[in-house]
C-alpha cells in the first residue's frame, strides 16, 4: 500500500505543471479564433465540430462535484445514484432532436431570449436571467468549489483559499480571453485527461478488491468497527449505523425509498433533467455552437455515450473505497466521523480522495489531482461563459438599449470578474454548509419544474401565451420557495439519534416526488390562464414551436410596440461609439487591453449589406440536414437508448 501523504511529491508537481501548460496552450491558441464578434465570443461563431461539442457537453456536466459526490453516494448506497447519469442519456436525445432544432430555427443566443421571442415582453426573460445567475453563483459554483477544495485539502498541504483562488483565476482567464471557443477546446482536452485518470483509478480499485464479483459481495460486508463491535449492544445508539442498504445493487427501488424512490426517478428526475439539459444556458450553449444541426445532434450522441462511464469510473470506485476503508468512509458514530472528516453526518464524500491518496503511486496521484483540477476548471469556465452571456444579452441590453458590440464584449468580461469575486467571498459559507450535494439536488426539484413546464409548453403547444407562462412561473416559484424554506427550517438528526420532528409533508414526500407535484401545478395554472386569455397569433410563432420549425413565412415580432419605441429613442439616447484610434498606432498597454477584451479586430470586421446580413442569418438559422447523415444519427440515437434500457434493466 502506498502511504498517504499531504506533501506533494515533485513527480506529482511535474504532472500538474504539464497539465496546466497543455491546457493553457490550447486555450491561448483557440482564443485567437472567433474573438472579434459577439457571436464568436458567446457561440464560438457557430463553427464547432461535433467532437468538441459532445466533449464540452460532458465536461460541463461532470465537474469535481460529480467525482466527489457520485463516489460518495456510491459508497453510501450503492449504484442507485447512477440513475442520474443513465437518465441523462435519454434527455440528451430530447435535446438534440426536439429542442435544439427550435432554438436554431429561432436564431437565439440565450434561453431567456427564446422565451422573449416566443411570448413577447421582457418580464419572463429578465426573471429567468436573474434566477439563472443566482443559481449559478450559489449552487453550481459553490458545489464545484466545495468538492474541489475538499479533494485538494485532502491531497496536498496547501491553504484552501490560495488553491481555490488560483483555480478561479485560471478558469476566469480562459473565459475572459477566449470566449466559448477557448472553453469548448479546453473542455475537449480536459475530458481526455479526466477519462484517462478515472480509468486508471477504476482498474486499480477493482484489482485491490479482487474484481467485480468480489466488489459486489464485499460491499454488503463493509461495516465500520463501531457497528461490528456493538452489533448486540442495544444501549449503543449507533449499533445499526454504517450498514450498506440491502438494495445497493438495484437502480429501481420501492416508491417509499428514502433516497431514490422509483416514481421520483422515472418522472421527477426526468423533469429536473429536461430543465438542466434542454433549457439551461450552460448546456444548450454548447449545442448551439455546433456548425449545423447534424453536428449538434452528433455532439449530444457523443455526450450520451460518455454518460455510460460514470457508473464504472466513479460510482464503483466509490463502493470500492467503502470496502477498503470502512472505518473512515462508512463511519457510523458521529464522533468518529467528526474526527475523520469534520462532519457528524458521515464521511462518504472522502471516498474518492481516499482512494487516490492510498492506492495510487507517485505521478499517477498527480494525474488524478490534475483530473480534479480539470473537472473543476471545465465546470467553472462553462458557468462563467454562460453567465456572462446571460448578463450581457438579457440584462445589459435592457439597461443600454443601443449598446455597441465593443461595449457588450467588455461587459461580458467584467461580468466574469464580478462572479469570481462573489465566488471567493462565498467560500467560507460553502466550507461550513454540510450536505451540499443533497442540497443541490433538492433545490433543483424546488425551482426547476416551473421552468421546465414553461419551456415544454412553449415549444410543443402554440396556445400558451405570455400571461399563462408568467403566472405559472410566479406561482411555481412561490410554492417551490415555500417547500425549500420549510425543508431547511428543520435539521435531520444523524443516524441513531432520535428527535426527527419534521412534519409528515416534509419527511414523507421526497423532493423528487415534490418536483412532480410542482410540475403538474405549473402546467395546470399555465394552461388555464392561457385558455382564459387571448391567444398569440400564428404570424408571431413561425419557427418558435416544434411544429412550425420548418416554416419559411416571415415572422413578426410579437412585441412591436416595444421595438417601435426602441427605434424612436435610438437617435436621442444612442451611445457614442468607443473610439480607440487605429490599432497599429496605439501604445502596447492599450493593445494588450484590447486583445484581452477581444476587440483588437473590431475595425477589421467586414461591413455587410442588409441583403448579405439576411443571407448570413438564414444560413445560421437553417435546420436542413442531408438525408444520410440524418438517418445515421437517428439509428445511433436508437442504438444508444437501447443500450441504456438494457443496462437499466440489467440492474433494475
For 356-370, the pLDDT digits (tens) are 888 888 888 887 777
Residue 631 has pLDDT above 50, yes or no: yes
Residue 381 has pLDDT above 80, yes or no: no
**Residue (of 515, 522, 346) closest to 442 by Cα position:** 515
60 or 199: which leads in pLDDT: 199
What does the pLDDT read at residue 4? 42
Please give the grid coordinates belonging to residue 283: 448546456
Residue 570 has pLDDT above 80, yes or no: no
What does the pLDDT read at residue 123? 84
Identify the weakest region by mean pLDDT among 407-411, 505-509, 568-572: 568-572
Identify the weakest region by mean pLDDT among 98-102, 160-164, 201-205, 526-530: 160-164
Q: Which residues lie closer than 8 Å to 574 by C-beta, 6 or more apart? A: 402
638 or 71: which leads in pLDDT: 638
What does the pLDDT read at residue 573? 43
CA distances to 182, 412, 510, 547 from 179, rounded to whole Å, are 6, 9, 40, 33
Interatomic CA distance for residues 55 and 32, integer angstroms: 21
CB-count exposure of residue 577 (10 Å: 0-12, 13-18, 19+): exposed
What does the pLDDT read at residue 32? 57
Identify the residue whose cell numbers are 444519427. Answer: 633
412 or 611: which leads in pLDDT: 412
Residue 534 has pLDDT above 50, yes or no: yes
Summarize pLDDT for 271-298 with one digit per residue, the tens: 999 999 999 877 888 888 888 899 999 9
Residue 583 has pLDDT above 60, yes or no: no
Residue 347 has pLDDT above 70, yes or no: yes
Interatomic CA distance for residues 431 and 419, integer angstroms: 18
What does the pLDDT read at residue 183? 59
Q: Which residues lie closer than 8 Å to 268 by C-beta, 6 or more apart? A: 445, 510, 511, 512, 513, 514, 515, 516
Interatomic CA distance for residues 588 and 611, integer angstroms: 38
Identify the weakest region by mean pLDDT among 17-31, 129-143, 197-211, 600-614: 600-614
The 8-class DSSP code of residue 286 comes to H
Which domains, from first to last, does the chain contain? Answer: 16-434+610-650 (1.20.1730.10)
613 or 213: which leads in pLDDT: 213
What does the pLDDT read at residue 220? 93
Mean pLDDT across 633-649: 95
Please give the grid coordinates belonging to residue 21: 501548460
What does the pLDDT read at residue 209? 95
Summarize pLDDT for 296-327 with one digit per residue, the tens: 999 999 999 999 999 999 999 999 999 999 98
pLDDT category, 35, cuts 50, 70, 90? very low
What does the pLDDT read at residue 187? 64
Over the Cα atoms of the chain, what is R_g?
25
182 or 235: which leads in pLDDT: 235
Interatomic CA distance for residues 395 and 366, integer angstroms: 42
What does the pLDDT read at residue 15? 79
Summarize pLDDT for 54-111 with one digit per residue, the tens: 888 887 787 777 888 888 889 988 999 999 999 999 999 999 999 999 999 888 877 8
CA distances to 100, 250, 338, 491 from 342, rounded to whole Å, are 44, 30, 4, 18
CA distances to 56, 112, 133 from 183, rounded to whole Å, are 8, 22, 19
Residue 568 has pLDDT above 70, yes or no: no
Mean pLDDT, the chain, whole residue set = 78
What does the pLDDT read at residue 2? 37
DSSP string, 328-371: HHT--SHHHHHHHHS-TT--GGGHHHHHHHHHPPTTHHHHHHHH
Amino acid at each position: 500500500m502506498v502511504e498517504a501523504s499531504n506533501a506533494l511529491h515533485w513527480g506529482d508537481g511535474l504532472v500538474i505543471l504539464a497539465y496546466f501548460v497543455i491546457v493553457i496552450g490550447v486555450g491561448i491558441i483557440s482564443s485567437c479564433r472567433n474573438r472579434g464578434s459577439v457571436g464568436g465570443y458567446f457561440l464560438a461563431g457557430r463553427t464547432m465540430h461535433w467532437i468538441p461539442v459532445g466533449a464540452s457537453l460532458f465536461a460541463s456536466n461532470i465537474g469535481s462535484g460529480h467525482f466527489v459526490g457520485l463516489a460518495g453516494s456510491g459508497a453510501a448506497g450503492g449504484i442507485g445514484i447512477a440513475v442520474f447519469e443513465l437518465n441523462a442519456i435519454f434527455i440528451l436525445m430530447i435535446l438534440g432532436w426536439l429542442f435544439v432544432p427550435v432554438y436554431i430555427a429561432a436564431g437565439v443566443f440565450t434561453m431567456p431570449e427564446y422565451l422573449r421571442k416566443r411570448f413577447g415582453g421582457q418580464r419572463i426573460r429578465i426573471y429567468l436571467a436573474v434566477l439563472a445567475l443566482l443559481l449559478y453563483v450559489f449552487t453550481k459554483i459553490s458545489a464545484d468549489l466545495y468538492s474541489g477544495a475538499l479533494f485538494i485539502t485532502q491531497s496536498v498541504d496547501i491553504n484552501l483559499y490560495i488553491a481555490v483562488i488560483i483555480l478561479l483565476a485560471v478558469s476566469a482567464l480562459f473565459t475572459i480571453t477566449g470566449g466559448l471557443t477557448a472553453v469548448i477546446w479546453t473542455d475537449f482536452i480536459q475530458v481526455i485527461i479526466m477519462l484517462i485518470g478515472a480509468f486508471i483509478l477504476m482498474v486499480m480499485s477493482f484489482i485491490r478488491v479482487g474484481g467485480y464479483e468480489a466488489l459486489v459481495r464485499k460491499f454488503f460486508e463493509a461495516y465500520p468497527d463501531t457497528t461490528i463491535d456493538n452489533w448486540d449492544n442495544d444501549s449503543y445508539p449507533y449499533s445499526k449505523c454504517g450498514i450498506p442498504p440491502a438494495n445497493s445493487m438495484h437502480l429501481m427501488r420501492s416508491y417509499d425509498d428514502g433516497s431514490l424512490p422509483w416514481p421520483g426517478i422515472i418522472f421527477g428526475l426526468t423533469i429536473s433533467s429536461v430543465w438542466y439539459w434542454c433549457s439551461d444556458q450552460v448546456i444548450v450553449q454548447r449545442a448551439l455552437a455546433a456548425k449545423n444541426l447534424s453536428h449538434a445532434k452528433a455532439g449530444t450522441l457523443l455526450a450520451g455515450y460518455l454518460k455510460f462511464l460514470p457508473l464504472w469510473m466513479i460510482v464503483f470506485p466509490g463502493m470500492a473505497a467503502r470496502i477498503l476503508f470502512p472505518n473512515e468512509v462508512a463511519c457510523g458514530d458521529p464522533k468518529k466521523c467528526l474526527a475523520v472528516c469534520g462532519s457528524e453526518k458521515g464521511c462518504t464524500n472522502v471516498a474518492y480522495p481516499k482512494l487516490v491518496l492510498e492506492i495510487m503511486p507517485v505521478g499517477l496521484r498527480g494525474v488524478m489531482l490534475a483530473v480534479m483540477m480539470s473537472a473543476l476548471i471545465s465546470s467553472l469556465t462553462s458557468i462563467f461563459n454562460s453567465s456572462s452571456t446571460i448578463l450581457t444579452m438579457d440584462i445589459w441590453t435592457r439597461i443600454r438599449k443601443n449598446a455597441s458590440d465593443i461595449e457588450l464584449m467588455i461587459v461580458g468580461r467584467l461580468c466574469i470578474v464580478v462572479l469570481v469575486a462573489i465566488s471567493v467571498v462565498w467560500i467560507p459559507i460553502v466550507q461550513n454548509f454540510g450536505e451540499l450535494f443533497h442540497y443541490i439536488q433538492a433545490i433543483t426539484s424546488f425551482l426547476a419544474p416551473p421552468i421546465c413546464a414553461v419551456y415544454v409548453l412553449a415549444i410543443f403547444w402554440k396556445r400558451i401565451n405570455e400571461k399563462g407562462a408568467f403566472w405559472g412561473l410566479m406561482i411555481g416559484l412561490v410554492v417551490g420557495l415555500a417547500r425549500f424554506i420549510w425543508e431547511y427550517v428543520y435539521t435531520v438528526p444523524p443516524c441513531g439519534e432520535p428527535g426527527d420532528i419534521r412534519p409528515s409533508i416534509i419527511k414523507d414526500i421526497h423532493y423528487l416526488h415534490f418536483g412532480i407535484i410542482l410540475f403538474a401545478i405549473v402546467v395546470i395554472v399555465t394552461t388555464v390562464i392561457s385558455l382564459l386569455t387571448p391567444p398569440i397569433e400564428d404570424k408571431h410563432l413561425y419557427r418558435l414551436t416544434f411544429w412550425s420549425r420548418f416554416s419559411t413565412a416571415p415572422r413578426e415580432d410579437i412585441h412591436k410596440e416595444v421595438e417601435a419605441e426602441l427605434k424612436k429613442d435610438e437617435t436621442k439616447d444612442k451611445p457614442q461609439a468607443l473610439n480607440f484610434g487605429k490599432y497599429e498606432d496605439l501604445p502596447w498597454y492599450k493593445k494588450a487591453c484590447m486583445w484581452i477584451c477581444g476587440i483588437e479586430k473590431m475595425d477589421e470586421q467586414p461591413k455587410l449589406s442588409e441583403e448579405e446580413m439576411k443571407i448570413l442569418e438564414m444560413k445560421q438559422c437553417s435546420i436542413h440536414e442531408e438525408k444520410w447523415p440524418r438517418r445515421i444519427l437517428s439509428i445511433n440515437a436508437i442504438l444508444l437508448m437501447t443500450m441504456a434500457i438494457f443496462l437499466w434493466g440489467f440492474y433494475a
